[in-house]
């Protein structure tokens, strides 16, 4: 099939490209709404005229090209309108009281309830004004908070805080994540400082989320708890608050994270179960009505699971398939996928930039395109082995398609993804069926308890197998951070190699090798050469422990007050990835490697300093001495005013573990120096080349 035939059979695929380009242009550049609207209207008018007045056959591309410009302009218009609708007004004006709608059922975490609020109105000087923005809320646990449900309306008088940027130079930027989801502030509500003004649940989605909470309650009544409850709730209902972070990490390391996000596989299992039920109960009678009922139930399931991008995409695609069955029309997966993507982006164009949407669409495309071709490579006659090979080919296909995205977003590559998929695909099917039977039989306690028992042990087995795979030697390839340009280059390389394998045109293989070499291999090697000459000191933000990293080329050395504690492990891992350090070593007293450390004094390259901490009582220095750094940690017995006058410092770093009033004393004492308070300003970083060309932040 030629490209022209493919586009003719899949018209939505032809539409999606200019639409996405328009959204990207509108997000990168400020295009006024009237400009986008004018371009769209004029282009549509010209396209209609050209279709009516089509000149020559050779010019038949012209109306389509102009239509593409119109669609591109519509994409710009939608993203600009969406961006203009986002506001952070509550954080920038003095407000006496807010009125807000609870968006999600509050989740209990560490004696506090977490949820999201839609601010609808603000009372300013006695008058109410309409406002439309979202914030996160942390609510102190009390009897009123326990009764709070999604869709109810509350009023409160409290200051909305702006979202803070991450204090360390690596790790997940939660503030940016929230802003990308339209959330522009956070608030802490103490007991007695807020009230419920309306118990009426507003909104179909919020009503569905409350139903989800009741279903989770049925899981609990059937005997599920802990990680078993967390996996069942996540896998079946899309509720992720009950699953342990360590279990999530295990699924990520095993390459099975996709099973924890309700997606096309989950919707497909539900569809097959519903279709089977319709056949069992009634045969072929009332065919149209039963298909329409399946669509309603699928969308009800989508609402209950939270309407994530993957669920919306899958539900729209299954809706298209069912409608095609009703009218005896075949449907193309590519066309259905493009139609689903357009529907989602029209509703919320910012979805284009969210990893969940990107991974969902790309994974499906990869599976549909690559899986049949990979499966043909090896012909397996044994049915059981062939089933395993089909599952493996699905994993390989999805991994090929999503590789650039996984490298860019997650900075790691799971090695045993093919093995974990053999476990989680059939395991998820069994769990979803068991959980559905548990929910259906919940009115009969003895039967639901039986299915609860089976579900519990099935989740235990699945967690055990995935964690075992995640703990296998070399389960992940770490430090795979790439730039967005390199991610695009890897994606182009995959497309060119695929095209070469199909067409056997070696110029495409040459283009793939050239692209990979220029944009990925050369920059990575140049980066390693540059890093080999780099020196840095980084003092990280942590309110409980001290963590100082000395970077020496591709190696790093860590100094901490609790070097063997698990709390420092994430910092070491994140710091080593950030600085591309291939190896690290903990510093001990009298170290004589790249770092000299003895009795609170340290020397690294051409810098030296003193660390003042809980064990520091005095300094036995009589001669005048100028040091680069004074680092203050914890609650030192020695006071700022007691520091020897013959010591002078260029930089005074106050760590986040220092109490505010103690930090204030040190700031006043050394006001003439460069003082960096990590609690307020974030991690301190100083970087230079080996020959000491310093750049302080």
Cβ distance 649 to 629 under 8 Å?
yes
- In the three-class reduction of DSSP (H, G, I as helix; E, B as strand; rest coil), residue 565 is classed as coil
pLDDT of residue 697: 46
Beta-bridge partner residues of 684: 539
Q: How many CB atoms lie within 10 A of CB 370?
A: 20
**Of 598, 667, 659, 658, whose CA–CA distance to 632 is shortest?**
658
What pLDDT, in 10s, does the model give residues 255-282?
887 777 777 778 888 888 888 777 766 6
Q: How many CB atoms lie within 10 A of CB 239?
A: 26
What pLDDT, in 10s, does the model give residues 387-423?
888 888 988 998 899 989 888 887 677 888 888 888 8
37 and 165, same domain (yes or no) = no
The sign one gets for the Cα dihedral 99, 100, 101, 102 is negative
Non-local (6+) Cβ contacts of 562 within 8 A are 545, 568
Q: Is residue 213 part of a domain?
A: no
Cβ distance 314 to 262 under 8 Å?
no
pLDDT of residue 90: 45
What pLDDT, in 10s, does the model give residues 94-111?
677 889 999 888 888 878
Region 108-122: what's the mean pLDDT? 86
Give the number of domains in the chain. 4
Q: 133 pLDDT exceeds 50?
A: yes
pLDDT of residue 537: 92
623 and 585, same domain (yes or no) = yes
545 and 673, same domain (yes or no) = yes
Gap between the Cα atoms of 404 and 390, Å rounded: 23
- H/E stretch holding 569 reads helix 569-578
pLDDT of residue 271: 85
**Is the model more confident about 592 or about 613?**
613
What pLDDT, in 10s, does the model give residues 330-360?
778 898 999 999 999 998 898 898 888 898 8
Question: How does strand 647-654 pair with strand 674-677?
Answer: parallel
Q: Is residue 53 part of a domain?
A: yes
Q: Is residue 314 part of a domain?
A: no
Backbone angles phi, psi at 574, to 5 degrees: -65, -40
572 and 680, same domain (yes or no) = yes
pLDDT of residue 57: 57
Question: How does strand 647-654 pair with strand 625-632?
Answer: parallel
Cα atoms in the Cβ-side hemisphere of radius 13 Å centred on 647 = 24
What pLDDT, in 10s, does the model give residues 496-518?
999 998 888 899 999 999 999 99
**Of 491, 344, 493, 341, whose CA–CA distance to 10 is shortest?**
341
- C-alpha 60, offset from chain centre: 43
- In the three-class reduction of DSSP (H, G, I as helix; E, B as strand; rest coil), residue 69 is classed as helix
Q: 93 pLDDT exceeds 80?
A: no
24 and 135, same domain (yes or no) = no
Non-local (6+) Cβ contacts of 260 within 8 A are 231, 234, 235, 240, 243, 248, 251
What pLDDT, in 10s, does the model give residues 183-216?
888 888 888 889 998 888 888 888 888 888 889 8
Which ranges of 10-60 would DSSP assign to H, the alpha helix? 11-28, 33-52
Q: Is residue 243 part of a domain?
A: no
41 and 128, same domain (yes or no) = no
Q: Is residue 420 part of a domain?
A: no
Gap between the Cα atoms of 216 and 586, Å rounded: 45
Q: 685 pLDDT exceeds 90?
A: yes
pLDDT of residue 184: 83
539 and 527, same domain (yes or no) = no
Beta-bridge partner residues of 674: 651
Q: Is residue 581 part of a domain?
A: yes
Non-local (6+) Cβ contacts of 655 within 8 A are 539, 542, 546, 631, 632, 633, 634, 678, 679
93 and 80, same domain (yes or no) = no
569 and 603, same domain (yes or no) = yes
If you average pLDDT over every residue of the chain, what do you get? 84
Non-local (6+) Cβ contacts of 393 within 8 A are 371, 374, 375
Residue listed under structure tokens 């039963």: 290
Which residue, 164, 182, 202, sits at the end of a domain? 202
59 and 181, same domain (yes or no) = no
- Which tokens sit at 557? 């050395």
- Which tokens sit at 666? 């040190």
Gap between the Cα atoms of 44 and 486, Å rounded: 37
**Is the model more confident about 671 or about 573?**
671
Find the CATH number of the domain harbouring 170. 2.40.50
Non-local (6+) Cβ contacts of 255 within 8 A are 395, 399, 414, 415, 416, 417, 418, 420, 421
- C-alpha 612, offset from chain centre: 39
186 and 54, same domain (yes or no) = no
- Which tokens sit at 310? 């993957």
What pLDDT, in 10s, does the model give residues 159-184?
888 877 788 887 667 777 777 777 88
Highest mean pLDDT among 58-72, 272-286, 624-638: 624-638
Gap between the Cα atoms of 484 and 500, Å rounded: 24
pLDDT of residue 91: 45
Q: Is residue 512 part of a domain?
A: yes
Gap between the Cα atoms of 257 and 250, Å rounded: 8
Cβ distance 493 to 515 under 8 Å?
yes
Cβ distance 612 to 638 under 8 Å?
yes
Supply the DSSP symbol for 594: S
Q: How many CB atoms lie within 10 A of CB 570?
A: 14
Gap between the Cα atoms of 162 and 88, Å rounded: 9
Which residue, 202, 227, 258, sits at the end of a domain? 202
Residue listed under structure tokens 């908070």: 145
Domain that holds residue 514: 484-532
- In the three-class reduction of DSSP (H, G, I as helix; E, B as strand; rest coil), residue 20 is classed as helix
Cβ distance 50 to 68 under 8 Å?
no
Q: Is residue 29 part of a domain?
A: yes
pLDDT of residue 21: 93
pLDDT of residue 497: 94
Q: 540 pLDDT exceeds 90?
A: yes
Which residue, 145, 174, 202, sits at the end of a domain? 202
61 and 197, same domain (yes or no) = no
Region 355-366: what's the mean pLDDT? 89
């Amino acid at each position: 099939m030629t490209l022209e035939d493919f586009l003719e059979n899949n018209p939505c695929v032809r539409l999606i490209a200019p639409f996405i380009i328009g959204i990207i242009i509108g997000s990168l550049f400020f295009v006024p709404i009237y400009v986008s609207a004018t371009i769209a209207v004029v282009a549509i008018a010209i396209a209609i005229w050209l279709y009516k007045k089509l000149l020559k056959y050779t010019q038949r591309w012209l109306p389509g090209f102009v239509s593409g410009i119109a669609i591109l302009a519509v994409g710009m218009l939608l993203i600009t309108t969406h961006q203009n609708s986002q506001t952070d007004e509550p954080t920038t004006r003095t407000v006496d009281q807010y009125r807000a709608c609870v968006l999600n059922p509050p989740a209990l975490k560490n004696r506090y309830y977490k949820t999201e609020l839609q601010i609808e109105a603000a009372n300013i000087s006695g008058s109410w004004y309409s406002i439309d923005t979202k914030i996160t809320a942390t609510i102190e646990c009390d009897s009123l908070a326990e009764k709070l449900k999604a869709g109810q309306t509350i009023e409160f008088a409290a200051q909305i805080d702006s979202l803070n940027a991450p204090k360390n130079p690596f790790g997940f930027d939660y503030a940016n994540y929230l802003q990308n989801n339209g959330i522009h502030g956070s608030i802490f509500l103490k007991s007695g400082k807020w009230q419920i003004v309306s118990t009426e649940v507003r909104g179909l989605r919020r009503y569905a989320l409350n139903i989800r909470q009741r279903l989770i309650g049925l899981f609990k009544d059937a005997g599920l708890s802990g990680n078993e409850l967390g996996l069942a709730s996540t896998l079946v209902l899309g509720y992720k608050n009950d699953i342990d972070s360590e279990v999530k990490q295990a699924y990520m390391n095993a390459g099975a994270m996709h099973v924890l996000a309700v997606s096309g596989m989950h919707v497909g299992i539900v569809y097959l179960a519903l279709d089977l039920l319709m056949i069992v109960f009634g045969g072929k009678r009332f065919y149209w009505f039963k298909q329409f009922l399946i669509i309603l139930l699928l969308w009800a399931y989508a609402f209950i699971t939270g309407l994530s991008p993957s669920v919306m995409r899958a539900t729209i695609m299954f809706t298209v398939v069912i409608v095609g069955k009703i009218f005896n029309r075949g449907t193309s997966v590519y066309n259905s996928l493009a139609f689903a993507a357009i529907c989602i982006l029209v509703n919320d164009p910012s979805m284009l930039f969210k990893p969940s949407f990107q991974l969902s669409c790309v994974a499906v495309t990869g599976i549909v395109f690559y899986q049949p071709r990979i499966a043909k490579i090896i012909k397996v006659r044994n049915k059981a082995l062939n089933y395993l090979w089909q599952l493996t080919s699905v994993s390989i296909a999805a991994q090929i398609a999503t590789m650039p995205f996984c490298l860019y977003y997650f900075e790691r590559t799971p090695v045993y993804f093919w093995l974990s998929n053999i476990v989680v695909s059939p395991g998820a099917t069994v769990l979803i069926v068991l959980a559905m039977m548990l929910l259906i039989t919940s009115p009969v306690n003895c039967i639901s308890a039986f299915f609860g028992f089976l579900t519990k042990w099935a989740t235990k087995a699945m967690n055990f197998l995935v964690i075992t795979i995640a703990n296998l030697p070399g389960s992940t390839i770490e430090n795979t951070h790439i730039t967005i340009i390199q991610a695009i280059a890897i994606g182009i390389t995959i497309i060119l190699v695929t095209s070469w394998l199909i067409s056997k045109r070696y110029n495409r293989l040459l283009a793939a090798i050239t692209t990979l070499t220029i944009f990925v291999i050369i920059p990575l090697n140049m980066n390693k050469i540059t890093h080999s000459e780099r020196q840095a000191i980084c003092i990280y933000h942590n309110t409980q422990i001290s963590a100082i990293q000395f970077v020496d080329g591709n190696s790093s050395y860590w100094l901490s007050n609790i070097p063997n504690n698990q709390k420092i492990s994430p910092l070491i891992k994140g710091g080593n990835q950030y600085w591309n350090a291939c190896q690290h070593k903990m510093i001990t007293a009298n170290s004589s490697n790249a770092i000299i450390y003895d009795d609170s004094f340290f020397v690294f390259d051409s810098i030296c300093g003193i660390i003042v901490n809980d064990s520091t009582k005095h300094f036995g220095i009589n001669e005048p001495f100028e040091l680069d750094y004074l680092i203050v940690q914890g609650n030192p017995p020695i006071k700022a005013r007691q520091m020897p006058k013959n010591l002078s410092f260029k930089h005074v770093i106050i760590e986040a573990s220092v109490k505010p009033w103690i930090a204030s004393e040190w700031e006043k004492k050394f006001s003439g120096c460069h003082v960096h308070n990590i609690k307020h300003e974030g991690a301190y970083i100083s970087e230079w080349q080996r020959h000491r060309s310093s750049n302080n932040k």
